Chains A and B, each alone.
Chain A
Amino acid sequence: DAGITQSPRHKVTETGTPVTLRCHQTENHRYMYWYRQDPGHGLRLIHYSYGVKDTDKGEVSDGYSVSRSKTEDFLLTLESATSSQTSVYFCAITPDPAGPQHFGDGTRLSIL
């Protein structure tokens, strides 16, 4: 399995609080992605990174920001969490965007 670790694996927090999710990889892959998975919507891309400090928006980026200061870490931040951001969040990596993506085990985030 590709070396991808997401933390925390589960989190419960309150509306209005800041939340940061971490994706850590040991594969030295250039490309990293954050997705959310919701019933009836499948996986939707939030943000992605194509190198250190190089990031761009996906289809559901509103309310989220990302940072990548090192190859191995890609952080997803909810500045002020809302109940609509309750979801399962997945990180994925790949050395080549034309190649297969490898996923972490996800973070289950509940915002009350």
Chain B
Amino acid sequence: KQEVTQIPAALSVPEGENLVLNCSFTDSAIYNLQWFRQDPGKGLTSLLLIQSSQREQTSGRLNASLDKSSGRSTLYIAASQPGDSATYLCAVSSGTYKYIFGTGTRLKVLA
């Protein structure tokens, strides 16, 4: 059974710092992996999706990498800003329709 873990559960950094969020999964036979952002009281916003054949995806200050063999993905945020404060979740699809989510990393960027 696929399990997805995100460590740490919470993180505080000063504004301007580059940071890395981690996601690990137990079964390397994945379809794709998504990173989401969730603001309090809101739904999830898809940030980046990496197909199983890809190694990384970039969007603006965000870069996500995927290493299937080690069961890991990282989300790199460059030059963090207070507006980046949110919970970041990763989700892995091991089958056609179903995603397994991690419990998220709650990020706070201090001004």
Residue A103 CB within 8 A of the other chain:
yes
Interface size on B, as a range, is: 20 to 34
Which residues of chain B are near A40, meaning CB under 8 Å?
103
Inter-subunit contact B43/A56 (CB<8 Å): no
Q: Which of B13-21, B64-72, B77-85, B91-99 contacts A (4 or more CB under 8 A)?
A: B91-99
Which residues of chain A are near B93, meaning CB under 8 Å?
97-98
Cα separation A8 to B30 with both chains bound (whole Å): 34
Among A50, A101, A104, contact of B99 (Cβ-Cβ < 8 Å): A101
Inter-subunit contact B32/A45 (CB<8 Å): no
Q: For the complex formed, measure the closest distance between the CB of A9 and the CB atoms of chain B, giving whole angstroms.
A: 10
Inter-subunit contact A98/B102 (CB<8 Å): no
Which residues of chain B are near A22, meaning CB under 8 Å?
none
Which residues of chain A are near B101, meaning CB under 8 Å?
35, 42-44
Inter-subunit contact A106/B43 (CB<8 Å): yes
Among B42, B51, B91, contact of A106 (Cβ-Cβ < 8 Å): B42
How many contacts A-B (CB < 8 Å)? 56
Inter-subunit contact B98/A104 (CB<8 Å): no
Cα separation A105 to B101 with both chains bound (whole Å): 17
Inter-subunit contact A103/B45 (CB<8 Å): yes
- How does the 8 Å CB contact mask read for A11-55 relative to B, with 1 for contact and 0 for none? 000000000000000000001010100001111110010100000
Knowing A42-B102, A45-B98, the reply to whether A98 touches B32 (Cβ < 8 A) is yes
Question: Can you list 13 contacts pairing A with B, beta carbon distance less than 8 Å?
Answer: A33-B97, A42-B101, A43-B99, A43-B101, A45-B99, A48-B97, A50-B97, A98-B31, A99-B49, A100-B46, A101-B44, A101-B46, A102-B46
B interface residue numbers (CB < 8 A to A):
4, 31-32, 34, 36, 41-46, 49, 51, 89, 91, 93, 96-99, 101-104
A interface residue numbers (CB < 8 A to B):
4, 31, 33, 35, 40-45, 48, 50, 56, 58-59, 90, 92, 97-106
